[in-house]
Chain A
Amino acid sequence: AQTVTQSQPEMSVQEAETVTLSCTYDTSESDYYLFWYKQPPSRQMILVIRQEAYKQQNATENRFSVNFQKAAKSFSLKISDSQLGDAAMYFCAYRRNDMRFGAGTRLTVKP
């Protein structure tokens, strides 16, 4: 079974600084997708970034980038130049067929 583990229930970062959120997953498949979703308080979940497992190059979307280590089954999210609007729950997710989510990391951004 595929499982997704986020070992950091809460993280805090100073505005304009960089923070890294961790995620590991378990799978026997070689072809799958990995995602980071952001869920602001009382608002809907939105996709931050995705990574195809067959691609070696790490995905980047503006201030968001990932460190994808396929052999280690690790998929961390780096947020650079953190902004107050980045405060949210962040979920790591794995998809081969259905989507499996981690338990989430609550990110606080301090002004």
Chain B
Amino acid sequence: DTGVSQDPRHKITKRGQNVTFRCDPISEHNRLYWYRQTLGQGPEFLTYFQNEAQLEKSRLLSDRFSAERPKGSFSTLEIQRTEQGDSAMYLCASSLYSGSGYNEQFFGPGTRLTVL
């Protein structure tokens, strides 16, 4: 399967702990996006990368959240000092941006975080 993969699929943690999620995009996709989806809601944009550069961050991305894409391939999303309100599905998507026009985003299966 050459789609977007995310690891882990599920994570249960205690409040105050740090967690890190990984996303592997479709090979050769230069853009990678992170979204958060809470129960009963649509995904909310968090941030995106073009290659290794983080080009945009939502104000939803508090300073407890940090995302990296060091080599322009996989990305990690870290949440420090988790809070119960961080419980959500964290979705990753990737796309191939060629400089103009439309680029379809392909979504991964998500990482479901539960903060106790």
The chain A residues found within 8 Å of chain B, CB to CB, are 4, 33, 37, 43-47, 50, 52, 91, 93, 97-104
Residue B108 at the chain A interface, CB threshold 8 Å? yes
Closest 5 CB pairs of A and B: A101-B42, A45-B107, A98-B45, A44-B109, A91-B42
Number of interface residues of B (CB under 8 A): 21
Chain B residue with minimal CB distance to A43? B109
Q: Would you call A91 and B102 a contact (CB within 8 A)?
A: no
Q: Would you call A103 and B102 a contact (CB within 8 A)?
A: no
Known: A44-B110, A45-B107. A33 touches B41 (CB 8 A): no
- The secondary-structure label for the interface of chain B is loop
Interface residues of B in 82-116 (CB under 8 A from A): 91, 102, 104-105, 107-110
- Docked Cα-Cα span, A91 to B42, in Å, equals 7
- A98 touches which of B40, B48, B107 (Cβ 8 Å): B48
- Docked Cα-Cα span, A46 to B58, in Å, equals 23
**Which of A44, A93, A104 has the most C-beta atoms of chain B within 10 angstroms of its own C-beta?**
A44
- B41 touches which of A45, A46, A97, A103 (Cβ 8 Å): A103
Residues in A whose Cβ lies below 8 Å from that of B43? 45, 91, 99, 101
Chain A residue with minimal CB distance to B47? A98
